[in-house]
Amino acid sequence: MEKIHRGDGFAVIENNGEYQITWPQGPFDCPVFYPITKELMEKAFQSPQAAYEVMVFVETGRWL
């Protein structure tokens, strides 16, 4: 069963123990989706800065 966890400017979709983070991006706010771990999901909900760091990490593979 799919669950959507809403954050400030992003959301995490949980489906059968798998997680995806999504947020609107670009000039037309098209949603992007990236697979993440449960640990990254928990980190994203700690603070706006932590969420930003997770989003940068899943896009680039590097931590700030």
Rounded to the nearest integer, the mean pLDDT of the chain is 96
> Nearest-CA neighbor of 42 among 32, 52, 50?
50
Q: 35-55: per-residue pLDDT in tens? A: 999 999 999 999 999 999 999
Query: In the structure, what pLDDT confidence band is assigned to residue 30 with cuts at 50, 70 and 90?
Result: very high
Other Cβ atoms less than 10 A from the Cβ of 6: the count is 9
Q: What pTM was estimated for this model as a whole? A: 0.92
Report the half-sphere exposure of 19 (CA within 13 A, side-chain side): 17
Residue that is written with structure tokens 């680039």 in the block: 60
* Count of domains forming the chain: 1
Range of the domain at 21: 2-60
